[in-house]
Amino acid sequence: MRRNSAALAAIVVLTAATAGAQSKTPAPLDVTRPTRFSLGINGGFQAASTEFEDRFTFTRDQETGTTRTSYPVEGALTLDGGVGVRLWRGLGAGVALSRFRSEAVGTSSSSVPHPLFLQQHREVAGEANGMERQETGIHVQVQFLAPLGRKLQLAFMGGPSFVQVNQTLVIDVNYSEAYPYDTAAFEGVDSRRVTGSATGFNVGADLRWMFTRTVGAGVLVRFTRATVDLDAPEARSITVDAGGGQVGLGVRFAF
């Protein structure tokens, strides 16, 4: 009888210990349970390779000269951050801020008047160094979040973008000349920073892998486009394309 009671007590203790151990086992991570807010920070690259041209005239030796400059805009690194809020089920809204800076070498050519003879312009050409482009974009988005598993999420987004462009432009050409002035040598350019802004659009997707319910990593793919009129000197306006394809990698937070 005592042996049976001891065996029964041992079974009860073992069962309770097993149940207690199972109750302490954490539940598997499930990101399909919705959170209200999200935050993403990315470093990436904008493939904004494009080119635009500018042409202006100037007066020298009582004649009119002409300068033409070609400006390449090359791809460069970007910094991006955004927040989102879930409104209903997988539907939400968000806003993101992106910064892009690129520096390239332009090509400038000028037709400069002759100081002694009319209608005998000389051609000078050379490189315009330090032609910098900066773009700041504010992207307002409608977002839709689709869970792909317990840890994986895919967010689609799109909406209007407000883009400001800062661009370095050539405003004058420098050259040297000597008697009999039949030729002139390119010496460089004078430049000035100009600005412009416009409203465009953005579309993109963000793939997120959550390590915990609140912290993860993600890959962002976005395309932005806006057509901006730069306020150039002499009351001129230069139309340029801004934005491009962006790829970013960074951290994600959900709460």
pLDDT at 3 over 50: no
User: What span, in angstroms and rounded, lies between the C-alpha atoms of 40 and 33?
Assistant: 19
Q: What pLDDT is stored for residue 34 in this prediction?
A: 65
Q: DSSP letters along 90-122, please?
A: TEEEEEEEEEEEEEEEEEEEEEE--SSSTT--E
Number of structural domains (the chain) is 1
Percentages of the chain per state (helix, strand, coil), in multiples of 5: 10, 70, 20
For residue 180, cis peptide bond before it (omega within 30 degrees of 0) = yes
Burial 115-144 (b: 16+ CB within 10 A, else e): beeeeebbebebebeebebbbbbebbbebe
Query: pLDDT tens across 24-53, in order?
Result: 444 455 555 667 899 999 999 998 778 999
Query: pLDDT tens across 48-97, in order?
Result: 778 999 999 999 888 999 999 999 998 999 999 999 999 998 899 999 99
Domain that holds residue 170: 2-254
Q: What pLDDT is stored for residue 49 in this prediction?
A: 73
Mean pLDDT confidence for 234-245? 91
pLDDT at 8 over 90: no
pLDDT at 244 over 60: yes
Among 144, 133, 128, which residue's Cα sits nearest to residue 38?
144
Radius of gyration of the chain (CA): 31
| CATH number of the domain enclosing 67 | 2.40.160.20
Q: Which of 19-23, 48-52, 119-123, 229-233 has the lowest mean pLDDT?
A: 19-23
Residue pair 50/76 in contact (Cβ under 8 Å)? The answer is no
Q: What pLDDT is stored for residue 205 in this prediction?
A: 97
| Residue-averaged pLDDT of the chain | 87
Q: What pLDDT is stored for residue 219 in this prediction?
A: 97
Could you give the C-alpha distances from 126 to 86, 91, 96, 97, 183, in angstroms and in order? 54, 54, 40, 37, 14
pLDDT level of residue 14 (50, 70, 90 thresholds) = very low
pLDDT at 6 over 90: no
Q: What pLDDT is stored for residue 13 in this prediction?
A: 41
Query: pLDDT tens across 125-183, in order?
Result: 999 999 999 999 999 999 999 988 888 999 999 999 999 999 999 999 999 999 999 99
Q: DSSP letters along 187-202, please?
A: EEEEEEEEEEEEEEEE
Q: What pLDDT is stored for residue 93 in this prediction?
A: 96
Among 143, 248, 237, which residue's Cα sits nearest to residue 198?
237
Residue pair 47/244 in contact (Cβ under 8 Å)? The answer is yes
Counting residues of the chain whose pLDDT is more than 90, the rounded percentage is: 74
User: What span, in angstroms and rounded, lies between the C-alpha atoms of 74 and 133?
Assistant: 9
